[in-house]
Amino acid sequence: MKRIFYFVFMFLFLLDCSHQTYEIKYIDTAFDTSNISRMAIFDFENKTDIDVVGTYAADRLRYYLNHDSDFIIIGRQEIKQAINELNYLNNSWVNDSQKIKKMGVFIAADALILGTVIGIDDPHAQYFYTKAFDTSFEVSIRIIEVDKGRLLYNNNCQGVDDDITIHQENPQFLQKRIARHIIDRCVRTLSSEFLPQKVKIPVE
């Protein structure tokens, strides 16, 4: 009889736990996000010989922020319009604090995310390819608070293709594939450092 009572009790207890509701909250990791709601991600400065990687890096970061945070990410079209209207047609403005603030105010952003992708010459790769090209890349990300002009985050990640010896494909296609693989991995690594941590808190 006691055993039956025990099993009934455990069943009811587990049933009650299964109906537990949770509230999702975000805990800051790298910097205080209490005053940051809207963020703008600009195409990364491309210092490689591949014409798509700056846009690709920004797109991957946009994906991770949309899925792993509650920030409002300003759309690419709105950013392009602002660049044209402010006549910021080259990347020199990203090193000018006054222009950065002007851009942030123009698009009503609390923080701007700027980045760079650099291709690194790898002499090891020249042994395996008839035409050598970059197989190592460095991705850097910095986040600037618009209101105070503070640098909230600044770091870089370097990656190299792990298996360059066995690739048998068109060199141009191979280079793009290597670049995208490394860039995605670096963007994911860096974003995990500054994205607020998502936690589930039981609601009583």
At 28, which amino acid appears? D
Q: Report which of 64, 59, 66 is spatially closest to residue 42, judged by C-alpha positions.
A: 59
Domains detected in the chain: 22-202 (3.40.50.10610)
Query: What integer is the mean pLDDT of 106-125?
Result: 85
Q: Report which of 36, 76, 72, 32 is spatially closest to residue 56, judged by C-alpha positions.
A: 76
Q: Report which of 178, 181, 157 is spatially closest to residue 166, judged by C-alpha positions.
A: 178
| Number of residues in the chain | 204
Rounded to two decimals, the pTM is 0.79
Comparing 22-26, 46-50, 89-93, the range with the smallest average pLDDT is 22-26
Q: What is the pLDDT of residues 18-43, one digit of tens each?
A: 556 767 677 888 888 889 999 999 99
Q: Are 97 and 148 a contacting pair, CB within 8 Å?
A: no
The whole-angstrom distance between residue 203's C-alpha and the CA centroid of its chain comes to: 31
Q: What is the pLDDT of residues 158-193, one digit of tens each?
A: 987 655 544 555 667 777 888 888 899 999 999 999
Instruction: Provide DSSP, 88-134.
Output: --SGGGGG-HHHHHHHHHHTT-SEEEEEEEEEE--TTGGGT-SS---
